[in-house]
Structure 1
Amino acid sequence: MKRVLIPVAFLFALFAGSGSAAAAPPIPVEPTTETLDCPGFQVDAVYTGKAKWIDAPVASGTKKRLKLFTGVAAASTATLTGPAPTSKVISLSLNGSISWSIVLSPEFDIVITGTGRNLISDPQHGDYPGGLFLTVGKVSWSLNAPDYPNGGITGPGSVTDVCALLAP
């Protein structure tokens, strides 16, 4: 695989525990912190709110796409702080879901689909400087897709370059 694009809702959902029933409500999650890559600088992030994890049953047969799991963030907030000297701060409401699937044909790939409001981090790798994107609506990307533009995120939803908002 060429890269690893990380949906923050997915990481956030990992801390919520694994797979209770899909009908179960999201549960509160301890505040989580991490550092994210932007071109030429890094961003400090703090996440609060609720999340849940939904395991997808893998069906047998000849399917070209197998859904693996979905991470859901509800009533969640990401507070992002850019670098000094400006140290710009923005707070984003996140209430989206991220679903991961394996595509078996025509080539093996992992496809991620986001709906709602999600924060997507595309870490620095190779010559790519990294990126951080707020998506609203339905978007998708695959791990083997090109990084440009917008981390390779496509679809009818909107994509906002968060790094541009936090740049010094």
Structure 2
Amino acid sequence: MPLTPVLHGGGQERSVRSGTVPVAGAVALARAMEMAEQEREIEHARLSALATVLIGGVRDTVPGAVLRGPEPGPDRLASHVLLTIEGTDAEAVLFGLDMAGISAASGAACVAGVNQPSHVLEAMGLDEAGARSGLRLTLGHTSTPADIQTVLEALPEVVRRARAAYSPRRGDQVEVA
């Protein structure tokens, strides 16, 4: 199958790419990659420390919260924390966190916006209710200890409200005044 041009114009590279190669952009990208590599170990350690505080704080304040994946340490992806929270549906937890100004997700980024149990948690052996209780918190270069504290202050009440609205018989949300 022939390649289809994305940009149209001068027809360089046998009409596959138009325009002049952005040399300055390529040099800037290479430099940015060098800088990121120089800071990778430091950033990994920083994110690991934040994740460890987050995980410990959730365990201390949210009964029924279970870490999915390795314990904090060298075998853990520092920027991701996946929890299941017994007796909740993730959508209610996400709504409460969003109202508190906290961004989170309930499953893999590749299926964002799909209201289905997490296929990852199901593959790990959780039943449908458990797979619907997943909460994914991610950390990045802008994450701070204050961000972690904000989550730890908001999450217990968010979970309390989500549990109050959860119907274990039906596995969905009910209206709570």
- TM superposition score normalised by structure 2: 0.23
More helix by share: 2
More strand by share: 1
